[in-house]
Structure 1
Amino acid sequence: MKTKNILTSSIAAIALIGTTTACVTDPNTGERHISRTAIGGIGGAGLGYLLGGLVGGKTARIVGAGIGAAAGGYVGYRMDEQIRELEEVTAGTGVDVGQTPNGDGILVNFPEVTFAVDSTTISPQMRTTLDGVAQSMIDYPNSLIDVMGHTDSTGSDQYNLDLSRRRAESVANYLVSRGVARARIETIGYGEQYPVADNTTVSGRSQNRRVEIRITPITEADVEQAY
C-alpha cells in the first residue's frame, strides 16, 4: 500500500509540473517520454534545488558573462533544438538530457561512471561526451550554466559536501578547458541532500552519485532587466 501511495504521489507531481516540461524526445524514434531526471527529482528529496533560481543570481551573472541583447529568440524552438543535439551527443552513455521541471532550462544528468570511487578525476569514457556538451554550450552561447554535484549518504555530511563541490568544479574546469567561457559557469555541491533513489541499496547509491548541469537560456527581457 505504501509503495502504491508513493507511486500515485509521484504521478500526481508529474502531472502538476506539466506533460511537456518533464518530457524528452528520443532522437532516434521521435517519441516523447518522461525524463528520468524529472522522475528522480520527484521521487527523491524534492525539486527545490532545481526550481530555485540560478546559483549566484541571474542579473550579476548576465552582466559578468557579457551576454547582450542578441540573446532574444534563444528560448523555445532553439532550446528544443539544443536538447535534441545534446541527446544525440550523449546517446548510449547513460547521460540523461531533458528540460528542468519548470521548463525554463535544460538539465543534463551525468551518472556515477563519470568519476571513480572517491575521485574527482573525470573518467576517460566521459571526456568525449563532455567534449560534445561543451561544444553545444559554445554553439548556444546565450545561456548560463550551473554545475551541481551530488553524493550518496555513505560517509560524513561534511565529507560528502566537499566531494560534491570538488566534482562540480572538476566538470566546470573541464568545460572551460574545452572553450566554454568561465564567466558563464557557477558550481555548487549539495552533498547527500537531494537523493534521486534509495540510499539503502547499491543501485540507489549509484544513482545518487551524480553531477548535473543546468543550462538556463537568457532572454532579451532578462538582458534588459540586467542592464
Structure 2
Amino acid sequence: MFQTRTLLLLTTAGAFALAGCTDPANLPNGAQKTQEGAIIGGVVGGLAGLATAGSNPTKSALLGAAAGAAAGGLIGNRLDQQEAALRQSINNSNIQIVNTGSELKVIMPQGILFATDSAAVNPSIYGDLGALATNLTQYPDSVVEVVGHTDNTGAAAYNQTLSLQRAQSVASILVSNGVPSNRLVPIGRGEDQPIASNLTEEGKAQNRRVEVIIRPTA
C-alpha cells in the first residue's frame, strides 16, 4: 500500500515536471491550457502505467506519465489553436467558447437559436453555425456532442423531448455544412442540468441553451 501511494506521488510530481517549470500565472492563456493538458495526460498515463506494471512499477509509472504528458500537451495545443480559430470566425457576443484544456464547449442560448417551444433554428444564426461547421471540418480529430437543455417550465417529459429535437436541429445544420454525421451525437438533457437557478427569469434564460462539446479523439 505504501509503495503504491509513493508511486502515485512520484507519477503526479513527474507529470508536473514534464509539463514544464514555468509558473502558470506567467503563461499566456493558450499555453496554460496546453500545460494543463500535459499535466492531466501525465497523471492519467502514469496511473495507466502503474496499473499494467510488471516487475518494475516505478519505471512503468514514469514512462506512462511521460507518454501521457506528451499526448495531453498535443491535445491541449490543438484545442488552443481550434479555440483561437473559432473566436476569429464567430463574432457573436452571445455565444460562449470555453476551453477546459481537455475539450471545447460552444454554448448558445435559446434566444439566438429558437423561438419559444420551437425546435426550428432561427435563420439569423445560420452564419455562426456555418462557421462552427467549417471549424469542425478543419479540425477533424474529435467527436462532437450537441446537447440541448431547457429550464423547468412545463412538464419534464415535454422538456426532454424538446431539448433533443433542438439538439438534432442544430446537428442537422452542421451536417448540411459538411460535418460528417458520424462525428455528431445529439443529446437531450431536458431540465436535468441547470447552470443557474430556475427561480428567476435570468436563471431560466441561462438554462435554455445548446452546448456543442468538442472532444479530441487523438
Secondary structure, in 3 states, of the residue corresponding to 2:87?
helix
- Partner residue in 2 for 1:155: 154
Contact 2:142 2:217 (C-alpha < 8 Å) held by counterparts:
yes
Q: Tell me how far 1:88 sits from its aligned partner.
A: 2.2
Contact 2:76 2:102 (C-alpha < 8 Å) held by counterparts:
no
Structure 1 spans left out of the alignment, 5+ residues = 1-19, 33-70, 220-227
Contact 1:74 1:142 (C-alpha < 8 Å) held by counterparts:
no
- Partner residue in 2 for 1:207: 206
**Structure 2: which amino acid aligns with 1:143?**
S
**Structure 1: which amino acid aligns with 2:175?**
V
- Partner residue in 1 for 2:83: 83
Secondary structure, in 3 states, of the residue corresponding to 2:193?
coil
- Partner residue in 2 for 1:165: 164
Q: Distance in 2 between the 1:72 and 1:160 partners? A: 37
Q: Tell me how far 1:90 sits from its aligned partner.
A: 2.4
Task: State how many pairs are aligned.
Answer: 152
Deviations 1:86-128 (A, max 9, x none): 122223331000124xx31111101122111111111122111
Percent identity among equivalent residues? Answer: 41
Question: Which of the pair has more CA radius of gyration?
Answer: 2
- Partner residue in 2 for 1:136: 135
- Partner residue in 1 for 2:50: none
- Partner residue in 2 for 1:42: none
1:92 aligns with 2:92: yes
Q: Tell me how far 1:72 sits from its aligned partner.
A: 11
- Partner residue in 2 for 1:218: 217
- 1:47-66 correspondence runs (5 A): none
Q: Distance in 1 between the 2:131 and 2:143 partners? A: 17
Secondary structure, in 3 states, of the residue corresponding to 1:77?
helix
Q: Tell me how far 1:200 sits from its aligned partner.
A: 1.5
Contact 1:72 1:218 (C-alpha < 8 Å) held by counterparts:
no
Q: Tell me how far 1:73 sits from its aligned partner.
A: 8.7
- Partner residue in 1 for 2:117: 118
Greater helix proportion: 2
Q: Distance in 2 between the 1:112 and 1:72 partners? A: 33
Residues 199 and 72 of structure 1, relative CA distance in 2, 3 Å threshold: closer
Q: Distance in 1 between the 2:72 and 2:176 partners? A: 27
TM-score under structure 1 length normalisation: 0.62
Q: Distance in 1 between the 2:76 and 2:187 partners? A: 27
**Structure 1: which amino acid aligns with 2:134?**
Q
Larger relative contact order (C-alpha < 8 A, sep ≥ 6)? Answer: 1
TM-score under structure 2 length normalisation: 0.65
Q: Distance in 2 between the 1:124 and 1:209 partners? A: 18
